[in-house]
Amino acid sequence: MCRHLGWLGTEVSLSALVLEPPRGLLVQSYAPRRQKHGLLNADGWGVGFFDGGVPRRWRSAAPLWGDTSFESVSPALRSHCVVAAVRSATVGMPIEISATAPFTDGRWLLSHNGVVDRAVLPLPSSAESCCDSAILAATIFERGLDALGDTIAEIGTADPLARLNVLAANGSRLIATTWNETLSILRRPDGVVLASEPYDEDTGWADVPDRHLVEVSADRVTLTALDTKGTR
């Protein structure tokens, strides 16, 4: 389904992260390599980035590969902390900007790669769209990102078919979960990348094991197994 990417490090351009890598999100929008569900990510794209402490978003419900405006402007947009995604809408979900990641509560940017039965989620009034990912994002924002691992384990237990790879950033931290979808990590000299799949052939990419929480800050990366009791 969707593919997403997070960056925490020194300032880099959005085009260097999203458009230029040989197997980056632009190429993943039409030729993903590790995607288990769906062939294309043509139902929209979004890039969120921190401008100082302020999260800013550029989203579209059209394919990334046709966006000549983003192609033109993105080399001039630079940030130290980015969340970006290309979307393959789940059957039945609306194709609209408000259903497209990243979602925000004004402090965090958040993307969801996967699917969840909306019947197991509350219906937070703050959800931007009726899309499962928008409702999941609002639920996570309400419970707080410090509880992300518990929230995902709980929802994954309530919906055994759920796929719950979440990626979020607040300008100084990147956090992500793996739950039935792929995620890789690359530690570069200038920062850390989390991505649904490697964007190039660098031998430094490592796969994050399933059902884990990854936390990245300026000085460390931590992996914690999620509490999966009752889910297998």
Active site residues: 2
86 binds ligand GLN (CB under 6 A): no
Minimum Å distance from CB 176 to ligand GLN?
14
Give whole-number Cα distances, 11 to 1, 49, 182, in Å: 29, 11, 26
Q: Which stretch binds ligand GLN (CB under 6 A): 57-65, 88-96, 167-175, 201-209?
A: 88-96
Nearest distance from C-beta of residue 100 to ligand GLN, angstroms:
7
Taking the C-alpha atoms of residue 154 and residue 51, their distance in angstroms, rounded to an integer, is 33
Pick from 87, 118, 179, 186: which binds ligand GLN (CB under 6 A)? Answer: 87
> Out of 12, 14, 64, 93, which residue is the one contacting ligand GLN (CB under 6 A)?
93
Number of residues this chain uses to bind ligand GLN (CB under 6 A): 15
Token pair 């994002």 in the structure block, residue: 137
Helix (H, G, I), strand (E, B) or coil at 73: helix
- Applying CB under 6 A, among 59, 112, 118, 211 the residue interacting with ligand GLN is 112
Residue with nearest beta carbon to ligand GLN: 1
Interaction of residue 89 with ligand GLN, rule CB under 6 A: yes
Range 100-134 burial, b when 16+ CB lie within 10 A, else e: bbbbbbeebbbbbbbbbebeebeebeebbbebbbb
Q: What secondary structure, in 3-state letters, does 206-226 show?
A: EECCCCEEEEECCCCEEEEEC
Alpha-carbon gap, residue 177 to 24, rounded angstroms: 20
Interacting residue with ligand GLN among 5, 17, 115, 195 (CB under 6 A): 115
User: Does the N-terminal peptide bond of residue 94 adopt cis geometry, omega within 30 degrees of 0?
Assistant: no
Binding segment toward ligand GLN, per CB under 6 A, in 107-115, 146-154, 197-205, 209-217:
107-115
For binding to ligand GLN (CB under 6 A), which residues are involved?
1-2, 87-90, 93, 99, 112-115, 131-133
